[in-house]
Amino acid sequence: MAVLCRPAVSVPEYVITMEETLELARARHADHPQLGLALRLIRNTGVRTRHLVQPVDRTLTHPGFEERNRLYAREAKARVPPVVQRALEDGEVRAADIDMIIYVSCTGFMMPSLTAWLINTMGFPSHTRQLPIAQLGCAAGGAAINRAHDFCSAHPGANTLIVACEFCSLCYQPTDIGVGSLLSNGLFGDGVAAAVVRGTGGHGISLERNGSYLIPGTENWIAYDVRATGFHFLLDKRVPGTMEPLAPVLRSLAGGHGWDASDLDFYIVHAGGPRILDDLSAFLHVPPHAFRHSRATLTEYGNIASAVVLDALRRLFDEGGVDDRARGLLAGFGPGITAEMALGRWNRAAGPAPKGAR
């Protein structure tokens, strides 16, 4: 049974607060006819702080798509390896024990993927399989967990490394002044996360079932408009209401496993915004406290895209986890509108380490 081990997470050192974000919006868009609405939406996100790969003044400049993408690659190579090393240690495996690397990111582009660079520089075997995922946005964290589960199920005893690297601040577009763009400027943050999914042994979530769902006719609700200046984020105002059609899908997945989605022991979901969590609480009939880890990520880091699910899970580990065999749900939501969902049980028994591991 594949086990998702404790994630390692890192956020950059440059910090912007909610009040600084609001003040910048007032200063830069004083004549915007809907400034009051944008400020209210940003304030309602509940995001207190976000972390950036550059100081705020440099983040607000646009040196061009080429330079931004070069910065993405440089920062990824500097910030990902230490997080990966911690994830390997937390999973009690070595680089030599990894059979596949899944790399997810929607905020920069590299070809070959960073997976090739990691294999060449961190001691992963040359036969390590590579699975880069670039176009699932915030849902990619859940997708990575599910694809790791699938791989470990198809190859008993295999181990997978998941890496999520998101530098959302590099997608800031100073000329985009729609309310949705202004909201995103106050919502998204930067972060790197990694976790091992072990095919045998391991302490964490024993993955049992997964599923995917796309809400028909919503493919343009979250999107990138790719221009000469880079990725321009498009966000439809109907996105916050998507939990109403997705809650029954989560119920169906759990029901097919003989579980009641309203009566689980833990919930780790992507926090795109506070309404997502509020609606899930209402539609699944679970107390708001059930989503405390996702809300904490949103409050302290903002929406760090595909890394949210891994950071929320890291917080559950930090809290001490739950009882052995406790049942839980993990889910990521993103462009499509796509939901990537998983069910699993908490596994406290570490079990045998992979051959050759410490």
DSSP 295-337: HHHHHHH-B-GGGHHHHHHHHHHHTT---TT-EEEEEEEETTT
Q: How far apart are CA 80 and CA 212, in angstroms?
A: 28
Tally of CB atoms within 10 A around 36 = 9
Q: Is 237 exposed, middle or buried (0-12, 13-18, 19+ CB in 10 A)?
A: exposed
The string of DSSP codes covering 20-43 is HHHHHHHHH-TT-TTHHHHHHHHH
Whole-angstrom Cα distance, residue 153 to residue 138? 24
Amino acid at 313: L
Catalytic site residue 138?
yes
User: Considering only CA atoms, which of 145, 146, 150, 149 is closest in space to residue 164?
Assistant: 145
Of 138, 165, 168, 171, which is the active-site residue? Answer: 138
Q: Distance between CA 150 and CA 144 in Å, rounded? A: 10
End-to-end CA distance of the chain: 20
Dist CA 114 CA 212 (whole Å): 26
β pairing state of 204-214 and 222-227? unpaired
For 257, which DSSP code?
Answer: T
Active site amino acids: 138
